[in-house]
A and B are shown apart, each in its own frame.
Chain A
Amino acid sequence: MPLRLLSFAWLACLALFPFVVGCKPGGTTVENPSSEILIGHYASLTGPEATFGKSTDNGVKLAVDEINAAGGFKGRKIKLITYDDKSDAREVNQAVTRLVTSDKVVAVIGEVASSLSLVAGPICQEYGVPMISPSSTNTKVTAVGDMVSRVCFIDPFQAYVCAKFARENERVKASKAAILFAQDQTYSVQLREEFEKWFTQMGGVITSVQTHIKGDQDFSAQLTAIRATNPDVIFIPGYYTDVGNIAVQARNLNITVPLLGGDGWDSDKLPEIAGKAIDGCYYSNHYSPEDPSPRVQEFLTKYKKEFGATPDGLAALGYDAARILFEAMERSPDLKGENLAKAIAETKDFDGVTGKITIDAQRNAVKPAVILEMKDGQRKYVTTIEPIR
């Protein structure tokens, strides 16, 4: 019976495969020289939000290279371990568990997407490893516990910025706004709620609220319904992948009013996907590359030299997140989880690329936001909006 033999051999191969492959990560942990300090990063290096992950990772890398070039932390080199989570909650679970249990990193950086940070937060909290989210803006992310903090502003503020800009800025002066949001995206849902609240509080009217699912390709019905209510601006708090298609279809339906969104728009892919359709649209962001301050310009030059591209807001936040971590390591008595998390939470007036960063009692960063305009495939600085005091 050669077939039976063959299939048995095949099964045996299959059964052994995980062991052969599985040896690798374990091996490196054992051999890891104690002189290196490991920090972990989980990000969407591939998947629907790949540009988010790549930018952030570049930013973190830059900060790590910088500190290592300056002699490392107290003479010890810092080593960055990055895992790709493919924008998938299950992968996040695996990646972060591996970082905190088998790699034994001192701290974890990640994710951009709030829904994914919400998966990782409880794991870091349970194992007592500090986590810094560079750019998850949903309020729930840091509510997980004292191990989790972030270096970006939160959605209620971002929604306030968008609403204020839409109501008061000369370029828009909107009295009627429509909303199209992704109902299965934590980020999008909260931005929508908060925008609706602020916009009506400032005397505006919401004419229509439409929903879609993350990744949807057809938005005709929603846009037709929005068009019928004749708004002055359409608020689209989604990610660049969806916004690109929405913009194209809106223009095809003869909707000419400006579209407005949050930092989920911040990707070079957006003008690539949307083409001319996105011209004259606005979004709120963490920083503008046009900012003349030396801190920003120095970062820009370094980043361009290293990666050959203009850093987006997510790259800047990745950079700031890593640098805040290093600064907290200096202040912390040792590198134990609790002490390090406490040191991160006590960050005050840190001079970051994305502005002066102070972590508040809820472990959120308090700082201003900028509004950028899309013009001929470029982002142009429009205005800065200060935090609500």
Chain B
Amino acid sequence: MADFVQTLVTSLSVGSLYALIALGYTMVYGILRFINFAHGDIVVLGAWTSFTFATLMRKHVLSGPEIPWWLGPVVLVASMIVCGGVGYLIERFAYRPLRTGKIPLLSRFLPARRVRPGSGINVLITAIGVSLLLQNVGQLKFVFGASPQRMPDLIPYYEVLKLTFAGDPPQSVVIGLVDVIILCASAVLMLVLEGVVFRTKLGTAMRAVSFNTETAALMGIPVDRVISATFVAGSMLAAAAGFLIAMKYPGLNQPAHTIWVLLGLKAFVAAVIGGIGNIRGAMLGGFIIAFVEQFGSYYVSSAYRDVYVFVLLILILLVKPNGILGKAVREKV
């Protein structure tokens, strides 16, 4: 019983991390119909900028033994701003030229090329290129370096809840402050995103663009700006996920470690399972794969931890190819 509850707690906290990352994949797909494979690297960037900010602050500004409570939020916001900016730059300089045919900075001097609509393979290859670029720049010596690092403790270790169940040996359920903060922070961020998408003018524009880009443009919606906003929002959520990952797992893997790719891939699977393009689907998908992963590892075997996730993906694709919350789209000819 205790272990069941403990696994449940872990699933919730890991699930909200997956959900945060999955949102970025799903938003870009919803609007541009392509998978931004560089999104996983934004998560890594978020984790490492958080690490850099936190260490710099600890070293130069707040060198005392006490860590003020506001340092965590400050680091979080700073890394969200950096990643939002990088997300904007990626869209502006890597993806937009493919969409519009205009080369940034040089477009004044060069004639625009004709872009064939639906040439998705170009965008996909660019995404992979951007991802490799981020990984390799990240492990340069003067950027983040290529060794694992220890994230400074911004949240003190504290047991919010400890339940002990009788038995031999007595089992206990421990819920740490980190898990509670992860759950709360991601809930707040997801609510804010929901609010933006469904309650504001920008959100209406996003939905309009995702419904039909050409018509939205004809209606006077600044499509390029809406797409930029989507990238920035997705990257900021990824940065938040990166920050929370660094809080929960203080031993930070080096930026180009293969395990980060797996993390991005799993979040992508979460988006597909929930129904890619659907925001609520991404959240649901994130929690579902965390549950499958954690309970599978506990009750069956930890050796197949990643297998469960991908088997689930295959099953969903066989039964409901559009994902759990995805709507069936009839292809128009």
Contact = CB atoms under 8 A, between A and B. Distances in A.
A197 B197 CA distance: 59
A216 interface: yes
B6 A2 contact: no
B251 A86 contact: no
A46 B176 CA distance: 34
Contact of B3 (A46, A215, A228, A254): A228
Given A225-B3, A245-B249, A215 B147 contact: no
B146 A272 contact: no
B68 interface: no
Interface string A73-114: 000000000000010000000000000000000000000000
Contacts of A216: 259
B303 A218 contact: no
A330 to B, nearest CB: 37
A221 B146 contact: no
B306 interface: yes
Contacts of B211: none
A230 B172 CA distance: 12
A244 B139 contact: no
A333 to B, nearest CB: 42
Nearest to B303: A211
B251 A241 contact: yes
Interface string A185-224: 0000000000000000000000000111111111011101
Q: What band does the interface of chain A fall in when counting residues whose beta carbon is under 8 Å from B?
A: 35 or more
B50 interface: no
A343 interface: no
A48 B257 contact: yes
Contact of B302 (A48, A221, A227): A221
Interface residues of B, number: 45
B148 A221 contact: no
Interface in A249-270: 249, 252-254, 269
A181 to B, nearest CB: 10
Contacts of A273: 148-150, 250-251
Contacts of B7: 220-221, 224
Contact of B303 (A46, A183, A248, A272): A183
Contacts of A46: 139, 145-147, 254
Nearest to A226: B302
A346 B325 CA distance: 69
B119 interface: no
Interface string B243-277: 00100111101100111001000000000000000
Given A48-B147, A217-B248, 12 more contacts: A3-B110, A46-B145, A48-B253, A218-B14, A220-B7, A220-B294, A221-B7, A225-B3, A230-B169, A254-B174, A269-B147, A273-B150
Given A220-B294, A244-B251, A252-B176, A272 B257 contact: no
B253 A244 contact: no
Nearest to A269: B148
A3 B157 CA distance: 59
Interface in B166-185: 169, 171-172, 174, 176
A376 to B, nearest CB: 16
A254 to B, nearest CB: 5
A221 B147 contact: no
A220 to B, nearest CB: 4
Contacts of A228: 3, 171
Closest 3 CB pairs of A and B: A46-B146, A215-B259, A221-B297
Contacts of A275: 150, 153, 250
Interface string A1-15: 011000000000000
B3 A217 contact: no
Main secondary structure of the interface of B (DSSP, over half): mixed
A142 to B, nearest CB: 28
Given A224-B3, A228-B3, A213 B259 contact: yes
A254 B298 CA distance: 17
Nearest to A272: B150
A144 interface: no
Contacts of B293: 221
29 contacts: A3-B110, A3-B111, A46-B145, A47-B146, A47-B147, A48-B253, A51-B147, A183-B303, A213-B305, A216-B259, A217-B251, A217-B259, A218-B249, A220-B6, A221-B10, A221-B302, A222-B297, A224-B3, A224-B6, A224-B298, A227-B3, A228-B3, A242-B251, A249-B249, A252-B157, A252-B174, A269-B148, A273-B150, A275-B150
Nearest to A270: B251
A254 B259 CA distance: 27
A273 B251 CA distance: 5
Contacts of B146: 46-47, 50, 86
A110 B303 CA distance: 30
B55 to A, nearest CB: 12
Contacts of A210: 302
Contacts of B303: 183, 211
A386 to B, nearest CB: 34
Contacts of B297: 221-222, 225
Contacts of B150: 244, 269, 272-273, 275
Contacts of B254: 46-48, 50
A242 B259 CA distance: 12
Interface in B291-318: 293-295, 297-298, 301-303, 305-306
Of the candidates A210, A224, A244, the one having the most CB atoms from chain B within 10 angstroms of its own CB is: A224
Contacts of B149: 273
A210 B3 CA distance: 15
A138 B162 CA distance: 42
A267 B245 CA distance: 23
Nearest to B294: A221
Interface in B226-258: 245, 248-251, 253-254, 257-258
B8 to A, nearest CB: 10
Nearest to A240: B148
Contacts of B139: 46
Interface in A27-79: 46-48, 50-51
A212 to B, nearest CB: 7
A92 B95 CA distance: 35
